[in-house]
Amino acid sequence: MIDNPIIHPFLASKDEHILTNILKAERIYVYDSDGKQYIDAMGGLWNMILGYQNEEVITSIYEQMRMVPFINMWCSTNETTIRLANRLLSAAGGNFNKVMFTCSGSESIELAIKLIRKYHYDKGNRQKKYIAVFDSSYHGGYYGSLTATGLERGHFEPLGPMLQGFIYLPVPFTRKDRHSLLEHLLFLEHFFEENGHRLGGIIVEPVLGSAGVIPIPEQYFQRMQVLCLKHDVILALDEVSTGLYRTGPLFNYQSYRGLEPDLLCLSKGLSGGYLPLGTVLLSKKISVVIEHEAFAHLSTQNGNPACCMAALKVLDILERGNYETVVKEKSIYFRSKLKILEQQFPIITDIRIHGLMIAIEIKKQSETLRFEEVWEMMLVLKHKGLLVYPFSSKYSAGLMIMPPYIIEYQEVDHIIDILVQFFGELVNIGDG
């Protein structure tokens, strides 16, 4: 590896030897400085949904750059930015009527936190400052979004004091936590009755990603919405990872009957991963309260026309290619192959698949693995030419696959072949 002047995220300097110098990328593959090819089954960081070197997206960015490469959102607007806002509102439907732009998923969550608190401030409910999140959620790396993150909270202690006013709820993961769905529903009811007077909002990943693809049960979500309406609590969905057909539908919440969030946070695949872009969609309930005076949120590149043009082209490609069906069909294929793998290797204790959001849960001697163990597994697979995402939470640990949607069936087979070899070696080492 070349001498590195960069401090990399979530990586100590002593571990920099694991870094790969990527010089080329195309479709689902990346290539290092030695010419080695890797299957990027992480899809970048879950954002390269159309893969690398998509000429339509690249050309659209270039053409927009030649026309208007930047606008100052404080005092200007642009047709491309307006088109994307209208496109997203039309796709989301429901009660959404306004859009605010960000540059990342973390910033989208920061904005959602502000919107929740500003909404209640403007309504005169200034005691409703608290925000609930799940105890194994991941919402970002800024101060607000990091505080909203329930996963690995002990690691944040050196950064304290964190943002105040957050409450961490147990995840209704009934397959693993030994509590029934009814028990979780009763807990939720009690929580709202006890805290509704001070609770301003709740931020939810419909499928917890970094915790290992843990879906929120439909009945739980429906009850949560009823309670939010009863207590005037803002329901904000973090679809940074699940949005843009990742789990099948355009937005994951559309798979839940009657679910109507107040805020919808997007990023990652929105621009196909080609440029930094995020958004927050606001319901009429929120916008009519806060839009009468200026709202304090801006970063310089918000609403950048080139980023917005990339997103428009991504949406064109996804709709034209019927990617809702494509993702569902490839998900079924992945499931069939991984179930065989699960049956072959008892060390695999669960396979969780939602669209092309895939978790392989791994245990040794019935013990949940430590993060260091799944990290080492990730490095072994990287050596074999497969890039996967290691996860570890209080509920489970293992490896995740979040491939670009353009992955071909024979490439799925290749991934499975590598995993078969890997788990075979892992079992042999354990037996030895």
Backbone angles phi, psi at 204, to 5 degrees: -135, 135
Cα separation of 279 and 276, whole Å?
Answer: 11
What's the Cα-to-Cα distance from 128 to each of 107, 194, 231, 286, 316, rounded to whole Å? 22, 13, 10, 15, 41
For the chain, 432 residues long, give each residue's pLDDT as a single digit of tens. 557 899 898 888 888 888 999 999 999 999 999 999 999 999 999 999 999 999 999 999 999 999 999 999 999 999 999 999 999 999 998 899 999 999 999 999 999 999 999 999 999 999 999 999 999 999 999 999 999 999 988 888 899 999 999 999 999 987 777 789 999 999 999 999 999 999 999 999 999 999 999 999 999 999 999 999 999 999 999 999 999 999 999 999 999 999 999 999 999 999 999 999 999 999 999 999 888 889 999 999 999 999 999 999 999 999 999 999 999 999 999 999 999 999 999 999 999 999 999 999 998 876 789 999 999 999 999 999 999 999 999 889 999 999 999 999 999 999 999 999 999 999 876 554
Query: Which amino acid, one-letter code, is at 66?
Result: R
- The conformation of residue 40, written as its DSSP 8-state character, comes to E
Q: Indicate the pTM of the whole model.
A: 0.96
Cis before 5? omega within 30: no
In 3D space, the residue among 188, 146, 154, 156 whose CA is nearest the CA of residue 171 turns out to be 188
Q: Name residues whose C-beta falls within 8 Å of residue 154's C-beta, 6 or more positions apart in sequence.
A: none
Residue 234: in which H helix or E strand, if any?
strand 234-238
- The upper half-sphere exposure of residue 270, i.e. CA atoms within 13 Å in the direction of its Cβ, equals 31
Domains and CATH numbers, the chain: 13-55+322-430 (3.90.1150.10), 69-318 (3.40.640.10)
